[in-house]
Structure 1
Amino acid sequence: MEQWAFWLWEEYSDQIEISLRLLGAALAGMAVGINRDIHNKPIGMRTLALVSLGSAIVILSGSIYEGLHFGQDAVSRVVQGILTGLGFLGAGVILRDRNHMQVHGLTTAATVWIAASLGVTAGLGAWFITVAGTLATLFLLTYGKSLEDRLVRFFGGNPEAEDKLEE
């Protein structure tokens, strides 16, 4: 049995690694998206998983595909294209209230951008960055608002001020 598994790994190691990178990207996007779903935001698990997965697919297909070694210039151009395109997608979820100086959707737009970034890191096989980035993102989405409100109060501000940018 071990010889069969070893042969399978030897024969299809590139395809297995690509599949793992794509799966890692999708899982990172899903983890961030679940948080957005829990908080009833317009972009959720499926959307952010697709953004992250799409970024990983573009990274993998836009790079030199020999033994999963990437050319620095090619990867740089692909990453720039992904992040520029996702900026436009994220901008689509930002809304400004006509009657007040409030902006809604900035955090949601940022989650689109971070999901793309997590997809890029998974596509490149930077597993520590993917996991650490996912955990940091989840921490900020879960505890960031209450921490921000406490710090604003501590430094003498009003966290409920009308002219404050809101999600």
Structure 2
Amino acid sequence: METLGFGGFSYTFVKLLVAFILGTIIGAERQYRQRTAGLRTNVLVAIGACQFVALTVDLSGAAGAARVISTVVSGIGFLGAGVIMKDGLNVRGLNTAATLWCSAAAGASIGAGLMPHGVLFTVFIIGGNTLLRPLVNAINRIPVSEGSSEATYEVRVMTTMDQMSHAREHVQESIEAAHYPVSDIQIIDRPGNVVDLVATLVSTSINPNELDAVVAALRKLDCVTSAAWSSRTIV
């Protein structure tokens, strides 16, 4: 096969060199940001994907390359999962994993002989990781209203054990009268014949003023010692 001769070797060298350069460009930005997968990892992903695809093109043509590319995509998925970490409610490494995935795509493009496509794709990768950062920071600084956020809302009422049933009826009626269905009311025992009634709302978006009014009305009841509402952002 002609592609296995010197000419094919020279072309493979050019492909790997271009993939190496593109992987370096992508990885340098990640290294500068002190990310888990930095310069060397992105370079290795790019040249590895390039070589897998280039080798398959030389041996079995475009049809075989298509099968290998699909394998590279799934394989990089496992590699990317290794850089994703969960820290409490926060998940870190998603962008780095996505960048690895894109490095593989750039390398695969070069391996398939589509060098202009790989170069153009690399420009978009760098743009996504750099040019969009100011926009992301600006969006993150915008205050999020309670009405537009997706969260779990709870109304917490403190009462006595003797008044628990009476207070529970008032809590459910008051909340549902404001058109917020209650999914559950949990009873939490406290010392001194005191219990907390925690009502979880079905709605994921509310009007804070309406819940303020519900809580204010509950506080006026003789069977209620205190009342408040809170929200937890859905992750």
1:125 Cα deviation after fit: 1.5
| Number of matched pairs | 146
Question: Quick one: structure 1 residues 93 and 114, their matched pair in 2 at CA, closer, same or farther if it must change by over 3 Å?
Answer: same
Question: Quick one: structure 1 residues 164 and 142, their matched pair in 2 at CA, closer, same or farther if it must change by over 3 Å?
Answer: farther
1:135 matched to 2:129? The reply is no
**CA separation in 1, counterparts of 2:96 and 2:234?**
16
**CA separation in 1, counterparts of 2:234 and 2:95?**
14
1:43 matched to 2:33? The reply is no
Higher percent of residues as helix = 1
Matches within 5 A, 1:56-71: 56-65=50-59, 71=61
TM norm structure 2: 0.56
Unaligned runs of 5+ in 1: 1-10
**CA separation in 1, counterparts of 2:85 and 2:44?**
23
1:91 matched to 2:91? The reply is no
Q: Per the alignment, in what secondary structure is the counterpart of residue 131 of structure 2?
A: helix
Unaligned runs of 5+ in 2: 150-231
Q: Which runs of 4+ in 1 moved over 3 A?
A: 151-154, 161-165
TM norm structure 1: 0.78
Q: 2:70 aligns with which of 57, 80, 84?
A: 80
Q: 2:24 aligns with which of 27, 30, 33?
A: 30
Q: Per the alignment, in what secondary structure is the counterpart of residue 63 of structure 1?
A: helix
Flag the structure with more relative contact order, 1 or 2, with Cα contacts below 8 A and sequence separation at least 6.
Answer: 1
Higher percent of residues as strand = 2
- Give me the CA root mean square deviation: 2.5
Query: Does the CA contact (< 8 Å) of 2:57 and 2:112 recur in 1?
Result: no
